[in-house]
Chain A
Amino acid sequence: MSETTYLEAIRAGLAEELARDETVLLLGEDIGSYGGAFKVTEGLLDRFGAGRVIDTPIAETAIVGAAAGAAHMGFRPVCEMQFIDFLSCAYSILTNYVATARYRADLSTPMVIRGPSGGFVRGGPFHSQNPEAAYLHTPGLKIVAPATARDAKGLIKAAIRDDDPVLYFEHKYLYRRIKETLDPAEEVLTPIGSARLAREGGDLSVVTYSAMVHKAVEAAERLEREDGLAVEVIDLRTLAPLDDAAIVASVKKTNRVLLVHEDTRTGGLAAEITARINEQCFEWLDAPVRRVCAHDVPLPYAPPLEDWVLPQTEDIVKACRWLAAY
Chain B
Amino acid sequence: MGRIDVVMPQMGESIAEGTLSRWLKQVGDTVKRDEPIFEISTDKVDAEIPAPTAGVLAEVLVKEGETVPVQTVVARLETDAAAAASAPAASPPAAEAPAPASPPPPPPPPSRAAAPPPAPAPAPAAPAPAAASAVETAEERLKRRSTPLVRRMVAEHGLDLGAIPGTGMAGRVTKNDVLAFMERAPSAPAPAPAAGAPAQPAGGVAVIPGPVVEPWEGDRIESWSRIRKLTADHMIMSRRVSPHVQSLIEIDYTRIVGIRARKKAEFASRGVNLTYLAFIAKAVADNLRKHPSLNAAVMGESTIFRHEINLGIAVALDWGLIVPVIRRADELALLGMARAIQDLAGRARDKKLSPDEVQKGTFTITNPGGFGTVVGLPIINQPQAAILAVGSIEKRPAVVTLPDGTDGLGVRTLGYLSMSFDHRIVDGADADRFLADVKRTLHAYPDDAS
Q: Which A residues form the contact surface with B (CB < 8 A)?
A: 226-227, 255, 265, 282-288, 290-292, 295-297, 314-315, 317-319, 321-322, 324-326
Greatest chain B CB density within 10 A among A227, A286, A314 is at: A286
> Is B148 in contact with chain A by the CB < 8 A criterion?
yes
Q: How far, in Å, is A53 (CB) from chain B's closest CB?
A: 42
Per the bound structure, the CA–CA distance linking A296 and B106 in Å amounts to 11
By a CB distance below 8 angstroms, the chain A residues around B169 are 325-326
The closest CB in chain A to the CB of B150 belongs to A286
> Is B41 in contact with chain A by the CB < 8 A criterion?
yes
B44–A295 contact, CB under 8 A? yes
Say yes or no: A318-B114 contact (C-beta < 8 A), given A284-B149, A285-B147, A296-B104.
yes
Q: Can you list 12 A-B pairs with a CB-CB distance of less than 8 A? A: A282-B148, A286-B149, A286-B150, A288-B108, A292-B43, A318-B43, A318-B112, A318-B114, A322-B19, A324-B117, A325-B168, A326-B172
A322–B110 contact, CB under 8 A? yes
B103–A255 contact, CB under 8 A? no
Which residues of B (154-198) have their CB < 8 Å from a CB of A? Answer: 168-169, 172, 174-175
> Is B65 in contact with chain A by the CB < 8 A criterion?
yes
Per the bound structure, the CA–CA distance linking A286 and B175 in Å amounts to 6
Per the bound structure, the CA–CA distance linking A178 and B174 in Å amounts to 38
By a CB distance below 8 angstroms, the chain A residues around B148 are 282-285
Per the bound structure, the CA–CA distance linking A318 and B112 in Å amounts to 6
Q: How far, in Å, is A245 (CB) from chain B's closest CB?
A: 16
> Is B120 in contact with chain A by the CB < 8 A criterion?
yes
The closest CB in chain A to the CB of B46 belongs to A318
By a CB distance below 8 angstroms, the chain A residues around B44 are 295, 315
Q: Which B residues form the contact surface with A (CB < 8 A)?
A: 19, 41, 43-44, 65, 102-104, 108-114, 116-117, 120, 147-152, 168-169, 172, 174-175
By a CB distance below 8 angstroms, the chain A residues around B113 are 321
Per the bound structure, the CA–CA distance linking A285 and B434 in Å amounts to 43
B149–A325 contact, CB under 8 A? no
By a CB distance below 8 angstroms, the chain B residues around A319 are 43, 111
Contact pick for A321, options B102, B117, B151, B172, CB 8 Å: B117
The closest CB in chain B to the CB of A229 belongs to B117
Contact pick for A286, options B114, B116, B174, CB 8 Å: B174
A227–B117 contact, CB under 8 A? yes
Per the bound structure, the CA–CA distance linking A290 and B43 in Å amounts to 9
Q: How far, in Å, is B180 (CB) from chain A's closest CB?
A: 13
Contact pick for A255, options B110, B116, B175, CB 8 Å: B175
Per the bound structure, the CA–CA distance linking A227 and B151 in Å amounts to 27
Per the bound structure, the CA–CA distance linking A1 and B231 in Å amounts to 47
The closest CB in chain B to the CB of A305 belongs to B102
Per the bound structure, the CA–CA distance linking A244 and B388 in Å amounts to 39
Per the bound structure, the CA–CA distance linking A314 and B41 in Å amounts to 12
By a CB distance below 8 angstroms, the chain B residues around A325 are 65, 112, 117, 120, 168-169
A265–B147 contact, CB under 8 A? no
B109–A288 contact, CB under 8 A? yes
B109–A322 contact, CB under 8 A? yes
Say yes or no: A297-B103 contact (C-beta < 8 A), given A290-B108, A322-B111.
yes
Q: How far, in Å, is B284 (CB) from chain A's closest CB?
A: 33
A322–B150 contact, CB under 8 A? no
By a CB distance below 8 angstroms, the chain B residues around A292 are 43
B103–A285 contact, CB under 8 A? no
Per the bound structure, the CA–CA distance linking A287 and B109 in Å amounts to 11
Q: How far, in Å, is B186 (CB) from chain A's closest CB?
A: 24
A286–B147 contact, CB under 8 A? yes
Per the bound structure, the CA–CA distance linking A102 and B151 in Å amounts to 46
Per the bound structure, the CA–CA distance linking A93 and B110 in Å amounts to 43
Q: How far, in Å, is B145 (CB) from chain A's closest CB?
A: 11
Greatest chain B CB density within 10 A among A283, A291, A296, A322 is at: A322
Per the bound structure, the CA–CA distance linking A42 and B420 in Å amounts to 71
The closest CB in chain B to the CB of A312 belongs to B44
By a CB distance below 8 angstroms, the chain A residues around B111 are 318-319, 321-322
Per the bound structure, the CA–CA distance linking A322 and B41 in Å amounts to 10
Which 3 pairs, one residue from A and one from B, show the smallest C-beta to C-beta distance? A318-B111, A321-B112, A322-B111
By a CB distance below 8 angstroms, the chain A residues around B150 are 286
By a CB distance below 8 angstroms, the chain A residues around B149 are 255, 283-286
Known: A288-B147, A322-B19, A322-B41. 9 other contacts (CB 8 A): A282-B148, A285-B147, A290-B108, A295-B44, A315-B43, A318-B114, A322-B111, A325-B65, A325-B169
Contact pick for A326, options B43, B116, B151, B174, CB 8 Å: B174
By a CB distance below 8 angstroms, the chain B residues around A285 are 147-149
By a CB distance below 8 angstroms, the chain A residues around B104 are 265, 295-296
By a CB distance below 8 angstroms, the chain B residues around A226 are 116-117
B147–A322 contact, CB under 8 A? no
By a CB distance below 8 angstroms, the chain A residues around B116 are 226
The closest CB in chain B to the CB of A252 belongs to B149
By a CB distance below 8 angstroms, the chain B residues around A290 are 43, 108
A295–B103 contact, CB under 8 A? yes
Greatest chain B CB density within 10 A among A255, A282, A324 is at: A255
Q: How far, in Å, is B345 (CB) from chain A's closest CB?
A: 32
Q: How far, in Å, is B98 (CB) from chain A's closest CB?
A: 14
Per the bound structure, the CA–CA distance linking A284 and B109 in Å amounts to 20
Per the bound structure, the CA–CA distance linking A255 and B111 in Å amounts to 18
Contact pick for B103, options A227, A282, A288, A296, CB 8 Å: A296
